[in-house]
């Protein structure tokens, strides 16, 4: 049963024991961020956090870490909460095949209940804003689904983009925004600024859990995130028309902010502690003027802590980074078995593949680096054989330790593109990239002594099932 | 009102006050746009405690690179 809004998902999390209500009074800083940071330091299965007793506020409702464990990610997809990660990625991949699923338009959006316009806009009065990390330049909206259209093709539904970008609150009605040049909104902004025009924008906060996953997913320029959300939900995504921009926005959002990115203007932004585990900032970035805010009565403010991994963002963008890469690679190389690109949004990827002939695995790695997401992210690729599970890091380390002869299996490619946020890039945006081929060489690449591998015994699979059954019986 | 903890600029504006009166204010530097709540720890609110690596100068702001770069206007 898919969720049409954040509230219904929070209800399920609570029923499943995956939402913790903090009822004691807390300080907005540093408590809210420190608590969310701590969910990544207490082991598996961390819950979402709910705060409504925050010092100085009379009416705050804050949800943090909503996607911040494999249990919560599974529940977001409507899977049992103990579903293993690899199975979540496989199910994600299976549902992808239903793309595109047309959305369902509804006009009774609950965010129509309340409105602020023009000079009356005051984000602080709608949302209990707060700081995440010490060095952050201010308070951020970091879990929004941001909607924009191609100014040269505004009626193209697929080119309408839904993405997540960091947004710094720099005034009651002003935001600074980071459109990374490799992302779709930067293409929209460039086209508008070349004409000297503002770019209309709609920022939606507090969305159903699949919408948030899709907004953070690397998709093709003309592929619709709403049609992907429908595929992943197994039901059409409910959308509504935003009143000022006319853009398509999620029906179930808590808050819909509309305005424009002001043309050809830049203002100091950041820093902000990023998904790379490092701050980035001290740059002049585009500025949004907010002209209208629509919001549900008693809005829930959903935010996300990010910093040194792992944090919620790593769960949120883990599977949604793996699956597009898997699909794009398999389209040309059906030998590819699985892709684990969950490390720093895919700065490192582990790919399991069969080999067509000697040298094939390295070609798969180079193809991964030239996918749309790979161009901006994939810096290190580890290749493993088809019988190695790339999500099982001890197995991956076994492959690297036993199969790699560095002189023939490690390639360094100089001066390639990467997101400017990548901390090791030099200069920003340029990096060397590395392929570590930990697959078994095959003809005519006849190197090493791999002719007698010790495989699992044929009977092991049955015994594993038998032991698990006996253990379950013994534990009652 | 206090100077900016981050860039020491003297013009600081109040953006918002706590709905419960008198608990905190949200302040903002008019030069570097640093924004803070008065109840935050000293490392975020006091110039003398503000970490060296996050401080900003007028030169830093003037020389900050544009991201993304403003493109040329099309004829």
In CATH terms, the superfamily for domain A318-438 is: UbiD C-terminal domain-like (3.40.1670.10)
Measure Cα distances from A164 to A160, A262, A287, B69 in Å. Answer: 14, 19, 16, 20
* Integer Cα distance of A352 and A337 in angstroms: 5
pLDDT in tens, A75-133: 999 999 999 898 999 999 999 999 999 999 998 999 999 999 999 999 999 999 999 99
Strand intervals (E) in A296-377: 301-303, 336-343, 348-353
Are the C-beta atoms of A76 and A1 separated by less than 8 Å?
A: no
Range list for CATH 2.30.110.10 in chain A: 6-314
**Half-sphere exposure at residue A332, Cβ-oriented, CA atoms within 13 angstroms:** 13
Name the 3-class secondary structure at A409. Answer: helix
> Does B62 lie at the interface with A, CB-CB under 8 angstroms?
no
pLDDT in tens, A319-344: 999 999 999 999 999 999 999 999 99
CB atoms A28 and B70 under 8 Å:
no
Torsion over CA: A77, A83, A89, A94 (sign) = negative
Q: Is the pTM of this model over 0.90?
A: yes
Backbone angles phi, psi at A88, to 5 degrees: -65, -40
CB atoms A55 and B23 under 8 Å:
yes
The mean pLDDT of chain A is: 96
* Integer Cα distance of A200 and A150 in angstroms: 10
Range list for CATH 3.40.1670.10 in chain A: 318-438
> Does B35 lie at the interface with A, CB-CB under 8 angstroms?
yes
Nearest Cα residue to A279 out of A147, A69, A131: A131
Nearest Cα residue to A294 out of A262, A247, A237, A253: A253
Q: Which residue of B has its CA nearest to A124?
A: B16
CB atoms A124 and B16 under 8 Å:
yes
Catalytic residues of A: 274
pLDDT in tens, A61-78: 999 999 999 999 999 999
Beta-ladder partners of A383 = A351, A437
The distance of A129 to chain B (nearest Cα, Å) reads 10
Nearest Cα residue to A135 out of B25, B49, B40, B50: B50
Tokens of A272: 């902000």
Are the C-beta atoms of A435 and A383 separated by less than 8 Å?
A: yes
pLDDT for res A420: 87
Strand intervals (E) in A56-157: 62-64, 104-105, 114-117, 139-141, 145-148
pLDDT for res B1: 65
**Half-sphere exposure at residue A203, Cβ-oriented, CA atoms within 13 angstroms:** 29
The distance of B13 to chain A (nearest Cα, Å) reads 10
> Does B4 lie at the interface with A, CB-CB under 8 angstroms?
no
* Consecutive H or E run containing A279: strand A279-280
> Does B21 lie at the interface with A, CB-CB under 8 angstroms?
no
CB atoms B37 and A29 under 8 Å:
yes
Omega of the bond leading into A362 within 30 degrees of 0 (cis): no
Complex ipTM value = 0.98
Spell out, as residue ranges, where chain B has pLDDT lower than 70: 1
> Does B34 lie at the interface with A, CB-CB under 8 angstroms?
yes
Residue B39 has a CB neighbour count (10 Å cut-off) of 17
> In tens digits, what is the pLDDT along chain A, a chain of 476 residues?
799 999 999 999 999 999 999 999 999 999 999 999 999 999 999 999 999 999 999 999 999 999 999 999 999 999 999 998 989 999 999 999 999 999 999 989 999 999 999 999 999 999 999 999 999 999 999 999 999 999 999 999 999 999 999 999 999 999 999 998 778 899 999 999 999 999 999 999 999 999 999 999 888 889 999 999 999 999 999 999 999 999 999 999 999 999 999 999 999 999 999 999 999 988 999 999 999 999 999 999 999 999 999 999 999 999 999 999 999 999 999 999 999 999 999 999 999 999 999 999 999 999 999 998 999 999 999 999 999 999 999 999 999 999 999 999 999 999 999 998 899 999 999 999 999 999 999 999 999 999 999 999 999 999 999 999 999 999 87
CATH code at A6-314: 2.30.110.10
* Integer Cα distance of A305 and A229 in angstroms: 24
What residues of chain A lie within 8 A of the CB of B23, using their CB?
55-56
Are the C-beta atoms of A29 and A58 separated by less than 8 Å?
A: no
* Integer Cα distance of A306 and B72 in angstroms: 35
Cβ-in-10-Å burial (0-12, 13-18, 19+) of A475 comes to exposed
């Amino acid at each position: 049963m898919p969720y049409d809004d954040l509230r219904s998902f929070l209800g399920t999390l609570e029923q499943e024991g995956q939402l913790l209500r903090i009822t004691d009074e807390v300080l907005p800083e540093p408590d809210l961020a420190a608590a969310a940071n701590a969910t990544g330091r207490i082991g598996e299965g961390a819950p979402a956090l709910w705060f409504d007793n925050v010092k100085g506020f009379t009416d705050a409702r804050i949800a943090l870490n909503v996607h911040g464990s494999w249990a919560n990610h599974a529940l977001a997809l409507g899977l049992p909460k103990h579903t293993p990660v690899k199975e979540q990625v496989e199910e994600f991949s299976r549902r992808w095949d239903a793309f595109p699923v047309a959305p369902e338009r509804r006009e009774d959006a609950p965010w129509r209940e309340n409105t602020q316009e023009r000079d009356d806009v005051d984000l602080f009065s709608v949302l209990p804003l707060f700081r995440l990390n010490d060095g952050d330049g201010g308070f951020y909206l970091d879990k929004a689904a941001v909607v924009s259209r191609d100014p040269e093709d505004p009626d193209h539904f697929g080119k309408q983009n839904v993405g997540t970008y960091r947004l710094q609150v720099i005034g009651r009605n002003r935001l600074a925004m980071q459109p990374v040049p490799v992302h779709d909104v930067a293409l929209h902004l460039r086209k508008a600024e070349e004409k000297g025009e503002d770019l209309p924008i709609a920022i939606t906060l507090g969305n159903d859990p699949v919408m948030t996953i899709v907004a953070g997913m690397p998709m093709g320029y003309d592929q619709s995130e709403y049609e992907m959300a429908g595929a992943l939900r197994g039901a059409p995504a409910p959308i509504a028309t935003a009143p000022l921009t006319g853009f398509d926005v999620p029906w179930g959002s808590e808050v819909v902010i509309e305005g424009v990115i002001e043309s050809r203007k830049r203002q100091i932004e950041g820093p902000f502690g990023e998904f790379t585990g490092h701050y980035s900032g001290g740059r002049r970035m585009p500025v949004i003027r907010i002209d209208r805010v629509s919001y549900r009565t008693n809005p829930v403010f959903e935010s996300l802590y990010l910093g040194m991994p792992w944090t919620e963002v790593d769960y949120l963008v883990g599977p949604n980074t793996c699956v597009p890469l898997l699909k794009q690679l398999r389209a040309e190389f059906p030998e590819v078995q699985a892709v684990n690109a969950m490390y720093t949004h895919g700065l490192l990827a582990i790919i399991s593949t069969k080999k067509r002939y000697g040298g094939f695995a390295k070609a798969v790695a180079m193809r991964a680096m030239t996918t749309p997401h790979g161009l901006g992210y994939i810096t290190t690729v580890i290749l493993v054989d088809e019988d190695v599970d790339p999500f099982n890091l001890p197995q991956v380390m076994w492959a690297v330790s036993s199969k790699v002869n560095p002189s023939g299996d490690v390639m360094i490619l100089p001066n390639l593109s990467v997101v400017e946020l990548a901390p090791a890039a030099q200069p920003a945006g340029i990096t060397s990239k590395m392929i570590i081929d930990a697959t078994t060489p095959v003809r005519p690449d006849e190197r090493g002594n791999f002719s007698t591998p010790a495989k699992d015994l044929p009977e092991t699979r049955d015994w594993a099932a038998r032991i698990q059954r006996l253990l379950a019986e013994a534990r009652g | 009102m206090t100077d900016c903890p981050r860039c020491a600029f003297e013009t600081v504006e109040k953006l918002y006050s706590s709905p419960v009166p008198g608990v905190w204010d949200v302040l903002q530097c008019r030069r570097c746009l640093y924004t803070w709540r008065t109840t935050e720890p000293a490392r975020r609110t006091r110039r003398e405690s503000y970490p060296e690596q996050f401080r900003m100068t007028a030169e830093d702001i003037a020389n900050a690179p544009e991201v993304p770069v403003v493109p040329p206007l099309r004829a």
